[in-house]
Structure 1
């Protein structure tokens, strides 16, 4: 599916270019608006192409299933939030607080370790109570962690930094396993490979969007700050980036809460697959 690959890559690249360079071009400049329009056109063309080609890069019929669509969208939002933290925290710790790279790296292991320890436990919990509750609570905790991170300043104690990172890491860990279960469990067995590809794509898009969004907010606020107040401006710019991530996490919380009950597919529930995305869309409709 060469046409699908080209339109998807072009649309995403144009959007990321806007996020990364919009402050330099001017957010209302013709160049920025042209890139946004190009991104929308390429992504719309991608959807049209995928609905018509016999062997699509992405089987759109999966998105007719509400739990699958919700899990995919919330996964993008989750990784957008997580990677806004990954992008911004080194600026805060090294440039803002004067930490050595080694000490900053040690602090930055906190959310990763929290996710690694918590994810399996919350996966077991979601098997008992369902996926919607843990996913929603996880996104809410991630939003809270980002708000706490946005309030850090030049005099914040190390314990405040650790608490904020622990809350964010706990939220991300609580979200991932239940959401993965919802995404994979809502796809038919004969489309499990496609669902896994969608999950990986959602993760990669979220990573790119997180860095792009946080970078856009950070550079825009920093560029508008007075030159004689660089120290304070740095913390304001970092805080703006974290607040942007918190807004995405709040939206993700609402998306997770809107998910309907998940019904796991069995082979008996699913008719034999037809060839092509168009046939799948007609069947799903």
Structure 2
């Protein structure tokens, strides 16, 4: 049975408690990517994955997460967002238990993908519930807080994961989600109202399959291209498959009566460019998390806890700046806030571009503060541009698109920047492996973790310093590309996003097909 209508002026009487619960759920699913990053060295030591398997261990979660977000948002709209949220938490916790005890890289990749199914149900429900319980006058502030924790959740996951690894095995970074999910589910059952789209429409399973295969092929091509070569048959075939399935997805969605995501939505410039903003910001940020945790541990020799604590400036900056971002958007407009945020973020990556093995931690802190400040500035404006482009009855679709852009960006960021890191590393380390046996040379060239294993197993300690220098070369290459991506995004926003006061009104419900 549906609850009584919520007061449109004051919102739900427990809206702030509900916001806290939604942010807790959000941290769980966002930290599901980042907490793994801090455990990568431990997993490499225990399970011996290749560099390609390492990328897939991280990306399997983000890829399934991204591919299912749109249908999961539609399921929440149709059957109830509270039920979708509770179901998602249960599946997420089950996948976390499985991941905790995976005995080999393949099993861990599959288990991580299962966690992505639950996360896909959780994340869109959190934002659409907030849109439902907050009045229009307070919605931007609530979304800003939600956005702050969406960004800070990545750093919180790294910090918490580092603390756990100081005492427990690498699987603890997954298992810790189980009790948190249980408490969150209890609070949701007691405090959160149910809501759904008043207009019931069919689901779109064919569109879901086409989008998942297309995105999967794209990420596969990026990861395998870096390993086997961009001109290899495997990479080229994957990119062709991605183009075919994604083109087929667009064509199908344009023709079906009730599409999962109507491509016509992207004719609305705030919706399209808000989506681009979130995709780009999470692309570079998830790539940053993947690289910087290895820099602290492999490059500088810090323990997981020490590496995690070193991420505190990022998390604190996100939490402090994000709630203030709507004020900047009121002054500059969404266009200005997004451009400023992307610019500050690019400046942070410029600083990181010149970081070396002996660089002072204070320099890295400055870079992290710039990254977090930029992201906290642009995220609320980007999310608001997406959500406010749609009517309230399509809150699930709007939040799912917003979340999908995050996870697509994150999956691509890990693949793109992770592949650039591996390529830069490999190009440099090859000069130092000539005297090794072929098997040892191959292992050392596969990644810095492999080089450390070779040094330990063969006593070739002279390999460690070249491996660290090679890692820095790969890191510099990856962060240079992150700067370029940010600058291109700024140009697109300044050219294409409507100026303050000239933004078009939200799309009418009658013209939205999903």
What TM-score, normalized to structure 1?
A: 0.90
1:280 paired residue number? none
- Superposed, 1:109-128 pairs within 5 Å as 109-128=312-331
> Is 1:263 aligned with 2:503?
yes
What TM-score, normalized to structure 2?
A: 0.51
| Contact 1:19/1:215 (<8 A) preserved | no
Deviation per residue, 1:21-80 (Å, 9 max, x gap): 212221111221111111011100000111111221112221111111111111100100
1:134 paired residue number? 337
Cα deviation for residue 250 of structure 1 reads: 1.4
3-state SS, counterpart of residue 243 of structure 1: helix
| Contact 1:72/1:202 (<8 A) preserved | yes
Q: Aligned partners of 2:391 and 2:491: how far apart in 1?
A: 26
Q: Aligned partners of 1:106 and 1:255: how far apart in 2?
A: 36
Q: Aligned partners of 2:394 and 2:246: how far apart in 1?
A: 23
- Superposed, 1:55-94 pairs within 5 Å as 55-94=258-297
> Is 1:185 aligned with 2:425?
no
Q: Aligned partners of 2:245 and 2:221: how far apart in 1?
A: 14
In structure 2, the CA distance between the partners of 1:65 and 1:264, relative to structure 1 (3 Å rule), is closer
In structure 2, the CA distance between the partners of 1:264 and 1:221, relative to structure 1 (3 Å rule), is same
| Contact 1:77/1:248 (<8 A) preserved | yes
Deviation per residue, 1:222-266 (Å, 9 max, x gap): 122234232211100111111122222112212222211353636
2:487 paired residue number? 250
> Is 1:98 aligned with 2:301?
yes
- Structure with the greater relative contact order (CA < 8 A, sep ≥ 6): 1 or 2? 1
Q: Aligned partners of 2:417 and 2:482: how far apart in 1?
A: 7
Cα deviation for residue 159 of structure 1 reads: 0.8
Q: Aligned partners of 1:190 and 1:231: how far apart in 2?
A: 53
Structure 2 unaligned regions, length at least 5: 1-203, 433-465
In structure 2, the CA distance between the partners of 1:134 and 1:274, relative to structure 1 (3 Å rule), is closer
- Superposed, 1:133-282 pairs within 5 Å as 133-225=336-428, 226-228=430-432, 229-258=466-495, 259-261=497-499, 263=503, 265=505, 270=508, 273=510, 276=513
Query: Whose Rg is larger?
Result: 2
Moved more, 241-250 or 200-209: 241-250
Q: Aligned partners of 1:227 and 1:57: how far apart in 2?
A: 51
| Contact 1:218/1:241 (<8 A) preserved | yes
Q: Aligned partners of 1:50 and 1:67: how far apart in 2?
A: 21
| Contact 1:75/1:202 (<8 A) preserved | yes
In structure 2, the CA distance between the partners of 1:108 and 1:54, relative to structure 1 (3 Å rule), is same
Aligned residues: 274
3-state SS, counterpart of residue 273 of structure 1: helix
Cα deviation for residue 276 of structure 1 reads: 4.0
Q: Aligned partners of 1:14 and 1:54: how far apart in 2?
A: 27
Q: Aligned partners of 1:33 and 1:71: how far apart in 2?
A: 30
Cα deviation for residue 193 of structure 1 reads: 2.9
Q: Aligned partners of 1:91 and 1:227: how far apart in 2?
A: 22
- Superposed, 1:4-23 pairs within 5 Å as 4-23=207-226
Cα deviation for residue 190 of structure 1 reads: 4.1
Q: Aligned partners of 2:227 and 2:328: how far apart in 1?
A: 47
3-state SS, counterpart of residue 510 of structure 2: coil
| Contact 2:348/2:371 (<8 A) preserved | yes
- Superposed, 1:32-71 pairs within 5 Å as 32-71=235-274
| Contact 1:185/1:263 (<8 A) preserved | no
